[in-house]
Copies of this chain bind each other. A is one copy, B any other.
Amino acid sequence: MATDRRVRNGVPCPIGRAIDAVGERWALLILRNATLGMTRFEDFRSDLGIADNILSTRLARLVDLGLLTRVPYRDGGRTRNEYRLTAAGADLLPVLHALAAWGHEHTTPDEPAEPMRVVHRTCGHATTPGGHCDHCGQPVRREEEAWIRPWRSPEPIPLAAPVTG
């Protein structure tokens, strides 16, 4: 099963292995956008401003590594492919959250903006780095968690559910 496949890439250190898998700019940005529910080639391309060939290569690699999977869908008469997170890809969420927290604390946007929030959808309160609700105290499952990116929209964005590849 693709979702159970462990990337074998050698070094003893799990940090090193994770970096070998995803420690580069475009992979991380693609995974962020996939987490937001983005699935289509053109959407990734235009949102990220990435070259076709680079995007194509990166998507293929992430599929190969089992972090994304191609899902066929019908578009008019044609079968097209979209790209969705696998469980392994979705499990990078804590990395993305840690990056968000660090980015919020240590970097500054060009334009002042409400900061991004990670919230418990049910009650609207923030979640902690450990994945608990600030308000309820309970662990928050992925499907009850959302991002709010106020510079885009005040609506909570549910996190994309992983699919089995």
Considering only residues 12-26 of chain A, those with a C-beta below 8 Å from chain B are 12-21, 23-25
| Contact surface of A with B, Cβ cutoff 8 Å | 6-21, 23-25, 28-29, 32, 66, 88, 91-92, 94-111, 113, 115-116, 128-132, 149, 151-152
Give me 7 A-to-B residue pairs in the complex whose CB atoms sit less than 8 angstroms apart, sorted by A's number.
A7-B106, A8-B107, A18-B100, A23-B23, A95-B99, A129-B130, A129-B131
Shortest Cβ gap from A108 to chain B (Å): 4
Report chain B residues within 8 Å CB of A109: 8, 10-12, 17
Q: Pick the contact of A19: B99, B130, B152 (CB < 8 A).
A: B99
Q: What is the bound-complex CA distance between A96 and B113, given in angstroms?
A: 27
Report chain B residues within 8 Å CB of A20: 25, 107
